[in-house]
Amino acid sequence: MNRRENGGDPVIRDPKLAAIARKVDAGERLDLEDGLACLETRDLFALGRIADAAARRKSGDRVYYVLNRQLNPTNLCVLRCKFCDFAARPGDDHAYELSLDEALAHGGEDIDEIHIVSGLHPSWPFERYVEIMRALKDRWPDLPIKAWTAVEIDWFTRIAKKSVDEIFDILIAAGLATMPGGGAEVFSDRIRRELYPTKMGHDRWFEIHRTAHAKGIPSNCTLLYGHIETFEERIRHLIRVRELQDETGGFLSFVPLEYQVGTTRLVERGASASDSLRTVAASRLMLDNFDHVKAYWVMLGEETASVALNFGADDIDGTIVEEKIAHFARAESPVGLTQRRILKLIREAGKKPVRRDALYHVLETHDEDDTHAHSVSQL
């Protein structure tokens, strides 16, 4: 195969990837078969190069990160999703509810995003969730709040007996800037029936994100992969979210979440590093209308996340400080990363770190490589 026939890359061994490279070069949209070829290929490095080229067309050699903290006000939850180690029932050993002061302690002038995700508490009124946002906003008016997955928004409509529209109006007045992409899981009715039959349906997830976008609130979309889903279900998930992005343009970032086996043990072992890298690359290549694909280090682990920055990801999330959802599920990654460590992971991938806020406003670019000026123990 010569250079012209395989999309300009002399060493693409997989002919399906060569065809994908040609399509990407020509700006053609990939279809289900292409997505499957990305997940099935054994030509991992060629896939990485194609996805990296696509990422570079969006972001150059920049990789975004954010100084952030996660706040999970409670893990008490009325749902029993079969993949989740975080949720608790009243009386469970690991159940907790943060007081308002404890929740407030997660804010600060040192961060550019507070990311709030909660359980669906059996008795908290809607006002309790709003109160947390208002208290944060009163204290740190400039701190962008990224809060509540669509599942919580749906819960708020039920406990407050209000429409999605009305709930958003209240949350926006309380300081909502953007929404995380959780609760999407896998857009497959089969998976929903098997793993989270009592959670709201996927159509509702789309309705809520569509409403958020119409109200000027951008959001993310996640994919929970590496459990019982098929490759086809992964790719159909990408195609479905791509359709809403065509319609609204309101998504900021796509976030593949690697299932943490923890005690839920839907499968014996989680996704391999190469499966995760293929999933990141497939996401980048299928989602031609998304600006950002995230390598979420908490679930990928630092090393795979750093490699994923050469497989189509242009964002590594942030410092986080204390993460609970993956760590209750026994994630092996640390509970938080220092800014210095994040800079090192990005630079070791050969990319330029760019500090952003929750809405991807650029706050700082780091041109000087000071990674090696510090000993490993400080990193």
Residues that bind ligand V47 (CB under 6 A): 83-86, 117, 149, 180-183, 185, 220, 222, 224, 255, 257, 259-260, 262, 296, 299, 325-326, 329
Q: Which residue in the block uniquely carries the two structure tokens 């994923």?
A: 308
Least spacing, CB of residue 291 vs ligand V47, in Å: 13
Which C-beta is closer to ligand V47: that of 43 or that of 328?
328
Which C-beta is closer to ligand V47: that of 185 or that of 302?
185
Q: HSE on the CB side for 270, CA within 13 Å?
A: 21
Least spacing, CB of residue 80 vs ligand V47, in Å: 12
Burial class (CB in 10 A: 0-12, 13-18, 19+), 2: exposed
Residue 9 phi/psi, 5-degree rounding, is -105, 115
Least spacing, CB of residue 180 vs ligand V47, in Å: 3
Which of the 8 DSSP states describes residue 74? B
Rounded (10°) CA dihedral 299, 202, 156, 213:
90
Least spacing, CB of residue 255 vs ligand V47, in Å: 5
Q: Which amino acid is at 81?
A: C
Least spacing, CB of residue 262 vs ligand V47, in Å: 5
Which C-beta is closer to ligand V47: that of 7 or that of 180?
180
* CA 233, chain centre distance (Å): 18
Q: In what order do the strands lie in the sheet with 113-116?
A: 68-71, 113-116, 145-147, 176-178
Q: Which residue in the block uniquely carries the two structure tokens 């708020």?
A: 156
Q: What CA–CA distance (Å, rounded) separates 189 from 56?
A: 35
Least spacing, CB of residue 323 vs ligand V47, in Å: 8
Which C-beta is closer to ligand V47: that of 222 or that of 319?
222
3-state secondary structure of 299: helix
Which C-beta is closer to ligand V47: that of 149 or that of 279?
149
Which C-beta is closer to ligand V47: that of 230 or that of 371?
230
